[in-house]
């Protein structure tokens, strides 16, 4: 058993330089390779997160601007619809005024024509009355002349 322990101790003594080399290699790689690699990865992560944040901010700004544009478009449409309605209302009022004026002129023309017709009717009746008396006198004379003859 002593021999085994002695061999084991000898093996451990021979392994110490390898162990020390592995430890030195670990610290060397950590300092020369892994630290710069971690810095590069951290910078990459930071740049990626920064780009994501910038993209998110840009999207938020774009959404806000789109909302503003939509609000402006709605306001412009509302103004246009209001102006169109005002124009239609004015047009209806002008049309109603023109129709009322035309109606009044037509009524005046009808009244004037009715008065002229009444005057002409009265004159025609008077002329007929005069002719009736003359014709009646002529008819009576002819009838009397025929009887007398």
In tens, the pLDDT along 62-103 reads 999 999 999 999 999 999 999 999 999 999 999 999 999 999
Predicted local distance difference test score (pLDDT) of residue 149? 62
Helices (H) and strands (E) counted in the chain, each on its own, are 2, 0
Q: What is the pLDDT of residue 137?
A: 83
The average pLDDT across 110-131 equals 91
Range with top average pLDDT, 9-13, 22-26, 49-53, 143-147: 22-26
Nearest to 63 by CA among 80, 97, 55: 55
Highest mean pLDDT pick, 5-9, 123-127, 133-137 = 123-127
The domain tally of the chain equals 1
Tokens 């930071």 sit at which residue?
46
Look at residue 39 and tell me if it is in a domain. yes
Confidence of residue 34 (pLDDT cuts 50, 70, 90): confident
- Domain presence at residue 139: no
Identify whether 78 is part of a domain. Answer: yes
Residues 99-117, mean pLDDT to the nearest whole number: 95
Where in the sequence is the domain holding 60, given as residue range(s)? 1-110
Q: The tokens 């009646």 sit on which residue?
A: 136
What pLDDT score was predicted for residue 66? 95
Task: Return the pLDDT at 108.
Answer: 94
82: in domain: yes
Averaged confidence pLDDT in the chain: 90
Domain presence at residue 20: yes
| Residue 47 maps to a domain | yes
Q: What single string gives the DSSP state of each residue in 100-125?
A: HHHHHHHHHHHHHHHHHHHHHHHHHH
Report yes or no on 75 lying in a domain.
yes
Sequence-distant contacts of 43-52: CB under 8 A, at least 24 apart? none
Domain-embedded: residue 141? no
Question: What secondary structure letter does DSSP report for 61?
Answer: H
């Amino acid at each position: 058993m002593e021999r085994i322990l002695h061999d084991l101790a000898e093996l451990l003594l021979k392994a110490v330089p390898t162990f020390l080399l592995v430890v030195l290699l670990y610290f060397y790689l950590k300092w020369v390779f892994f630290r710069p690699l971690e810095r590069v990865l951290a910078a990459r992560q930071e740049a990626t997160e920064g780009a994501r944040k910038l993209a998110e901010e840009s999207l938020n700004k774009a959404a806000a601007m789109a909302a503003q544009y939509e609000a402006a478009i709605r306001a412009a449409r509302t103004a246009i619809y209001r102006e169109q309605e005002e124009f239609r209302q004015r047009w209806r009022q002008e049309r109603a005024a023109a129709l009322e004026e035309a109606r009044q002129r037509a009524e005046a023309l009808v009244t004037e024509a009715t008065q002229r017709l009444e005057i002409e009717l009265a004159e025609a009746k008077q002329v007929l009355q005069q002719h009736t008396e003359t014709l009646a006198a002529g008819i009576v004379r002819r009838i009397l002349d025929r009887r007398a003859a």
